[in-house]
């Protein structure tokens, strides 16, 4: 009599939101972002191995639903993620996500995970990894413009990975500034609540913009940005959504994840399609230069790329091994005789 209970192959480890929070606290949020940054760095250094494609987007009036697949030849991964700026009015997240890893050789999933929290961590980890490479040496102060979901993660990742000591917060909504400041209390950063974007940028070597629901907004105008800073532009990440005045882009050395995607979604959608940009992975491998002078403005036009999610999922897969921070999910039908799915179904009747 064939077994009725699912085999190991049928059970996919699933990391719920609750498990992810426990994993983050088990490791420590800063330590986990540093670990994810290391995985991203390792994967970006072998960039050419990856099967890359711009994400597959389904747009509607209210937002976008995207699938972000990639593969390194051994492991396949994808993320489901939505972006709906008006969700917050209904008490919902702007962005929710989950992701999956599978074995390329068999096509069998090996990890399913929540990724709303994980995306927050990997986005901040990526920003801080890039800033570690491109920001002025000994940067100690960051302006954090836009104090929503990403703001605390960005601040702590920049502290842990770049070594900043002060964040200067600004948001058009004072309640968001207060929320961010309260959350960052006791986290080892000097936190300054500011009254304008200009005020926030006072003395900052790193300027992070992360606002959510403006169409072609201009968060930074040209005259606000002095020489020598590093701009970490997170919020412009879909067609029609940008944060920086084009004049700033023209003064900056621009670094991107995957040009094919960034030219559609990033700040550089405002520029000519052949405007020169540097792929960040090439800076890591030494194939391209990073910052070349103290007075240069470096700009990371971040939109988020599938490889970063792949790295974050790899990290989670490695870290949950040997813990009880996952459920075995009965996701895959696994008949004893692989051609006998019908027989498995019939035997389950009894």
Is 85 one of the binding residues for its own copies (CB under 8 A)? Answer: no
> Looking at 83-91, 256-264, 280-288, 314-322, which segment touches its own copies (CB under 8 A)?
83-91
Q: The tokens of 309 are what? A: 């999610």
CA distance 345 to 72: 35
Residue 161 has a CB neighbour count (10 Å cut-off) of: 21
Residue from 30, 152, 243, 308 in contact with its own copies (CB under 8 A): 152
Active site residue 337: no
Measure the CA–CA gap between 137 and 164, rounded to whole angstroms. Answer: 11
Helix (H, G, I), strand (E, B) or coil at 233: strand
90 binds its own copies, rule: CB under 8 A:
yes
Q: What is the Cα–Cα distance from 316 to 16, expressed in whole angstroms?
A: 12
Q: Does 69 help bind its own copies (rule: CB under 8 A)?
A: yes
For its own copies, which is the closer residue by CB, 58 or 221?
58
> Looking at beta carbons, which pairs linking 284-293 to residues 24 or more positions away fall under 8 Å?
284/41, 284/44, 284/45, 284/133, 285/45, 285/47, 290/133, 290/134, 290/255, 291/134, 291/135, 291/136, 291/230, 291/253, 292/253
Q: Does 349 bind its own copies (CB under 8 A)?
A: yes
Report in angstroms how near the CB of residue 27 gets to its own copies at its nearest.
12
Q: Which is nearer to its own copies, 127 or 296 (CB)?
A: 127
Of residues 3-42, those binding its own copies (CB under 8 A): 6, 9-10, 14, 16-18, 20-22, 24-25, 29
258 scored as a contact of its own copies (CB under 8 A): no
Choosing from 148, 235, 266, 290, the residue that interacts with its own copies (CB under 8 A) is 148
User: Which 284-343 residues touch its own copies, going by CB under 8 A?
Assistant: 329-343
Of 47, 78, 258, 300, which one interacts with its own copies (CB under 8 A)?
Answer: 78
Binding to its own copies (CB under 8 A) within 115-144 occurs at 116-117, 120
Q: Which of 84, 122, 241, 314 binds its own copies (CB under 8 A)?
A: 84
Q: Does 255 bind its own copies (CB under 8 A)?
A: no
Task: Output the CA torsion 185→187→192→198 (10° steps).
Answer: -130
The one catalytic residue in 237, 301, 334, 337 is: 237
Sign for the CA dihedral angle at 235, 76, 128, 123 comes to: positive
Could you tell me which residues come within 8 angstroms of residue 89 by beta carbon, excluding any fewer than 6 positions away? Answer: none
Least distance to its own copies, CB of residue 332, Å: 5
Strands 206-209 and 252-256: unpaired
Task: Based on the shown chain and the rule CB under 8 A, indicate whether residue 193 belongs to the binding site for its own copies.
Answer: no
Separation between Cα atoms, residue 69 and residue 118, nearest integer Å:
16
CA 10 to chain centre: 30
Interacting residues with its own copies between 194 and 213 (CB under 8 A): none
Asked whether position 53 contacts its own copies by CB under 8 A, the answer is yes
Residues annotated as catalytic are 237
């Amino acid at each position: 009599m064939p077994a009725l209970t699912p085999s190991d192959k049928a059970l996919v480890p699933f990391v719920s939101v609750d498990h992810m929070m426990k994993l983050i606290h088990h490791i420590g949020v800063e330590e986990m972002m540093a670990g994810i940054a290391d995985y991203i760095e390792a994967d970006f250094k072998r960039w050419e191995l990856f099967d890359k494609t711009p994400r597959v987007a389904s747009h509607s009036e209210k937002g976008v639903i995207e699938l972000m697949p990639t593969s390194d030849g051994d492991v396949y991964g994808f993320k489901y993620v939505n972006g709906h700026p008006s969700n917050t009015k209904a008490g919902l997240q702007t962005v929710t996500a989950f992701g999956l890893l599978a074995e390329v050789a068999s096509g069998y999933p090996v990890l399913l995970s929540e990724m709303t929290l994980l995306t927050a961590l990997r986005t901040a980890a990526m920003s801080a990894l890039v800033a570690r490479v491109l920001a002025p040496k000994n940067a100690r102060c960051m302006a954090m413009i836009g104090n929503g979901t990403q703001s605390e993660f960005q601040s702590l990742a920049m502290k842990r990975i770049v070594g900043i000591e002060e964040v200067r917060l600004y948001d058009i909504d004072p309640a968001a500034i207060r929320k961010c400041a309260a959350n960052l209390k006791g986290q080892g950063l000097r936190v300054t609540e500011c009254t304008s974007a200009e005020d926030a940028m006072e003395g900052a070597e790193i300027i992070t913009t992360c606002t959510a629901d403006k169409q072609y907004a201009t968060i930074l105008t040209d005259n606000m940005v002095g020489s020598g800073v590093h701009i970490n532009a997170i919020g412009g990440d879909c067609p029609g959504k940008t944060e920086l005045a084009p004049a700033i882009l023209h003064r900056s050395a621009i670094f991107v994840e995957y040009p094919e995607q960034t030219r559609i979604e990033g700040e550089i959608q405002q520029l000519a399609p052949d405007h020169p940009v540097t792929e960040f992975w090439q800076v890591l491998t030494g194939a391209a230069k990073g910052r070349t002078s103290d007075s240069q403005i470096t700009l990371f036009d971040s939109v988020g790329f599938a490889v970063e999610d792949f790295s974050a999922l790899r990290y989670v897969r490695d870290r949950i091994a040997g813990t009880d921070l996952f459920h075995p999910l009965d996701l895959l039908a696994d008949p004893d005789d692989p051609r006998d799915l019908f027989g498995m179904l019939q035997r389950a009747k009894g």
